[in-house]
Structure 1
Amino acid sequence: MNLTTKRSEETKQAILAAAEKLFSERGYATVTIRQIAEEAGCSHTTIYIYFQDKEALLYALSTQPLELLKTSLDMLSDDAFLSSDEKLRRLNEQLIRFCLDNRSMYSIFFEANSARVDESEPELAINRMRQHVFHIISRLLGTYLNLPDGDGLLSCSRIYFYMLRGIVGSYTQLEESADSIMARLSPTFHAAFDALLLGFDKQLQDRNG
C-alpha cells in the first residue's frame, strides 16, 4: 500500500469512526455531514469523496454486523436437530448478545432510517436485511405457536421484538461487559420470554375456545 492509498484509507476510517461516535451519542436523524466532518477533522466535501450521503455512512457501519447476525440466525432457523422452543431460546440469546456487544449502535443498526416490517419491497438494502432478521423471529415464533402468517403472527412478532428492545435498553448505559450481563441475567431473560410465550398461548386458547 503506497502512502497516498494509506492516507486515503485512514481518512475513510476516521470518517466512519466519527459517524459512529456521533450517531451513537446524538442519534442518526440529528447528525449532519458537516458535524461528522468536524469530528473527523476533514472538510465536508472530503466525505463525499468516500460516501454519497449520510445514508451511505449508515449502510457502511451497519452492513457487516447485520450480515453476521443474519447468517447466524439463518443457521439457527435451518437447524433440523433443534426443537422449536430450543430455537426460540437460542434466538433470544443471540439477539440479546448481539445488542449488548453493539450497545452503542444497536438502535442505529435496527432503527435508523427504517421501514415498516410489513413493507413488501423496502427500497434500502439495510431495511431488507432488517426485515430478514425480523422474519426469522416471526417464522420461529409462528412455528412454536402453531400460528400461520397473518396479522396475528405479525402482532405477536412485534410484541416479541418490543420485549427484546426493552431488555437490551435496560443495560445500554452499564459499563458491565456483555459476558458478565449474560452470565448474571440469562435466567431472568429466559423467564421474561417464557412468561410472554405463556401469555401468547393463553390469548390464542381464549380466541379458539
Structure 2
Amino acid sequence: MSPRKPASQELTQEMIVEEARKQFIEKDFHQVSMRSIAKELGCSHGAIYYHFKNKAELFYVIIEGYFAELNHFLDETVNGTDDNQTKLYHVFLGFMEFGLNHQSQYEYMFMLRSNEVDGLSQEAANLSYEKFAQSVQSLSDDQLLISDIYSAFMALHGFVAHYRGYVVSFDEAKEAAHLHAEFIVKALK
C-alpha cells in the first residue's frame, strides 16, 4: 500500500484533476478509477469523493478544459489579422492539428461513448460545435447552409479519426492536412 500524503500537503482539486488527466491519457476511461487516482496521489479514495461526486464529474471537468482550449484557438483565429479565407483555412488546419497533437483528448471529446459521461460531455461538445459553426459562418463571404458547415466539420473529424493512432503528431500528416483544409475551403465557396 502506498504511503498517505502528509497532513501538511493538502489535497486539492487541481492535484486530482492533473492525476486524472494523466491516467485518462494513458488508459481507457473504464480502466481509470477513483481508487487508482487516489493511489497515485497517496490518499484515500474518500478524499477524492470529497472534491468530486463521481468519476464522470471529474472526467467532465477535464473534458471542459480540452474544449476550452479548442474554443480559445477558434477565438484567436477568428480575431486574427488575416483575411477571412486565410482564417477559415487556419480554423480547419488548426482543428486537425489539435486532434492529431492531442489524440487521447480528442477521442474523449468526440469519440467516446459511455452512459456514464455522454450527457455531460455531449453538452460541452455541442457548445464547441456551435462555436465552430459560428466561426465558419462568420468567416464565409456567403450565408452557408447548416448542412454545409456540418459537412465541413465531419470532413475534419473524419481526417482526424483516419490518422488517429497511425501518426504520433500532426507533423506526420501535415502535407495531407494542408491539402484537406484547402479542399474544404474551396468546397464552401
TM over 0.5: yes
Letter matched to residue 179 of structure 1: D
Distance in 1 (alpha carbons) for counterparts of 2:21 and 2:77: 31
Asked if the contact 1:77–1:136 (Cα under 8 Å) also holds between the matched residues in 2, the reply is no
Structure 1 residues 176 and 8: alpha-carbon distance in aligned structure 2, compared to 1, 3 A threshold = same
CA change 1:21–1:52 in 2 (3 A) is farther
The 5 Å alignment of 1:166-177 reads 166-177=158-169
Tell me how far 1:157 sits from its aligned partner.
2.0
Segments of 4+ moved more than 6 angstroms: none
2:181 maps to a residue whose letter is H
2:172 to 177, 180, 183: 180
Q: Percent identity?
A: 17
**1:174 positional shift:** 2.1
Deviation at residue 128 of structure 1 after TM alignment: 5.8
More off after superposition, 187-196 vs 155-164: 187-196
Q: Kindly state the Cα deviation for residue 67 of structure 1 after the two structures are TM-superposed.
A: 1.7
Alignment CA distance shift 1:87-1:14 (3 Å)? closer
Q: CA RMSD in A?
A: 3.3
Match of 1:51 in 2: 52
Write the letter of the residue equivalent to 1:106. Y
Instruction: Say which of 152, 158, 163 aligns to 2:150.
Output: 158
The TM-score, its normalising length taken from structure 2, stands at 0.71
CA distance in 1, matches of 2:8, 2:93: 41
Residues 62 and 109 in structure 1, CA contact (< 8 A), matched pair in contact too: yes
Q: Deviations over 1:135-157 (max 9, x none)?
A: 33323433415116xxx32x222
| 2:17 is the counterpart of 1:17 | no
> 2:70 aligns to what?
69
What's the CA shift for 1:63?
Answer: 2.8
Residues 96-137 of structure 1 show CA distances to partners (whole Å, capped at 9, x for unaligned) of: 11111110121312455456xxxxxxxx5x666544432333
Report if the CA contact (8 A) 2:74-2:135 is conserved: no
5+ residue gaps in structure 2?
none
Superposed, which structure 2 residues align to 1:192-203 within 5 Å?
Answer: 192-194=183-185, 196-197=187-188, 201=189
